[in-house]
Amino acid sequence: MIAAFGPPALSWNLSSDLHQLFQFRFMTNAFAAGTIVAVVAAPIGWFMVLRRQTFAGHTLAVVGFPGAAGAALIGISINDGYYAFCIIAALVIAAVPRARQGGYSEESAVIGTIQAFALACGFLFVTLYAGNLNGVNSLLFGNFLGITTGQILALAGFAVVGLAVLAAIGRPLLFASIDPDVAASRNVPTQALSVAFLVLLGVAAAETSQITGALLVFALLVLPAATTQTLTARPWRSLALAVVVALAVTWAGLAVSYFTPYPIGFWVTTIAFAAYVLAHLPRLAARARVHVRAGPTP
């Protein structure tokens, strides 16, 4: 598509760069989709990091792969496959009794089992479909070409519902996440919240998979939250900052991948990783200073 118009070239003229960036419909669509996904993934990912459920989040994203491949196989919309599989998998994980503190082993094993089975199914569906290998790559590592207006509407619809639910349960969810016993004693429905959150996480994983691919969802689910939880210990401030970081990372990733031959999933992840490292630098530097002052240890 790009080749027909010659490769995009970055210049020192910002307005011409921006003009190039947005001259094609597929790029404006990609920016719209990326923006929606960043706004959904960051706050839900923030709670996921706080609740130490990153493994569940990763599994939900991986489940999107057989979902999408299976949808392609039976000839329905790939996006329906993402949402259906991710939400069903969220309910399955929610049905596994969650071990209390210090006892996550059972949960991890069950989730790992689901993840392995999901990947295997995805591989089978792709083999049966006998589609081109490029398709598999974009399911796993993301693609921003050819995002349709219909897809954007679906992303926006799920985003609005997901964020509305998150806004409604936000405070009790925070309470139940960091202090489950006391929350339960105050009649906070911790079990129901935990199921609701997993479904939200399924939606976020399904949405993020469509941009970053199933294997790189953590670029938007984990990295912004992990970055801003380092920067501030004020919960709501760090949640809001995570959205800002996710937006910045997505926009930068889209722009850079437009001007370079390398894929979107790589750029979004790399930029998010750079932000994470930058956020940790002051603390690492402080630790190094303490070491230097303390002198070499024998």
Partner 1 sequence: MTDPLNPATSEDADLHDPAAPAVRLTGGTMVLGGRTVWREVDVTVGAGEFVAVLGPNGVGKSTLIKAILGMLPLTAGHLTVLGHPAGHANQHIGYLPQRRSFDPNLRIRGIDLVRLGLDGHRWGLPRPRWRPKAGEASGDRVTEMISLVGASEYAHRPIGQVSGGEQQRLLIAQALVQQPRLLLLDEPLDSLDLPNQASVAGLVADICQTGVAVMLVAHDVNPILSYLDRVIYLAHGGAVEGPPEDVITGETLSRLYDTPIEVLRTRDGRLVVVGQPEAPAHHHDRHP
Q: Among residue numbers 101 through 140, which ones bind partner 1 (CB under 8 A)? A: 101-102
Binder to partner 1 among 17, 80, 170, 259 (CB under 8 A)?
170
The pair of structure tokens assigned to 156 is 């926006």
Name the burial class of residue 231, with classes exposed (0-12), middle (13-18) and buried (19+) by CB atoms within 10 angstroms of its CB: middle
Nearer to partner 1 (CB atom), residue 28 or residue 191: 191
Smallest separation (angstroms) from partner 1 to the CB of 178: 6
Q: Which of residues 221-250 bind partner 1 (CB under 8 A)?
A: 229-230, 232-236, 238
Contact range with partner 1 by CB under 8 A, out of 57-65, 73-81, 182-190, 269-277: 182-190
- How many beta carbons lie within 10 A of that of residue 102, not counting itself? 6
Instruction: Give the nearer residue to partner 1 in terms of CB position, either 10 or 184.
Output: 184
Q: CA 150 → CA 9, 32, 144, 146, 190, distances in Å?
A: 30, 12, 14, 11, 36
Helix (H, G, I), strand (E, B) or coil at 117: helix
**Residue 16 binds to partner 1 (criterion: CB under 8 A):** no
Which strand (E) or helix (H) includes residue 5? none
Q: Whole-number minimum distance, CB 181 to partner 1, in Å?
A: 4
Q: Which of 167, 192, 244, 277 touches partner 1 (CB under 8 A)?
A: 167
How is residue 97 annotated by DSSP?
A: P
Q: Please, which residues have CB within 8 angstroms of residue 224's CB and are 6 or more apart in sequence?
A: 41, 42, 45, 46, 242, 243, 245, 246, 249, 272, 275
Residues 39-98 that bind partner 1 (CB under 8 A): 50
168 binds partner 1 (CB under 8 A): yes
- Residue 188 as a binder of partner 1 (CB under 8 A): the answer is yes
Least separation, in Å, of the C-beta of 269 and partner 1?
Answer: 22
CA gap 268, 257 in Å, rounded: 9
Both tokens of 55, joined, read: 């493994």
Please answer whether residues 2 and 146 qualify as being in contact, where contact means their C-beta atoms are separated by less than 8 angstroms: no
Interface size with partner 1, residues (CB under 8 A):
30
Using CB under 8 A as the criterion, which residues of the chain lie in contact with partner 1 when the complex forms? 50, 100-102, 167-172, 174-175, 178-179, 181-188, 229-230, 232-236, 238
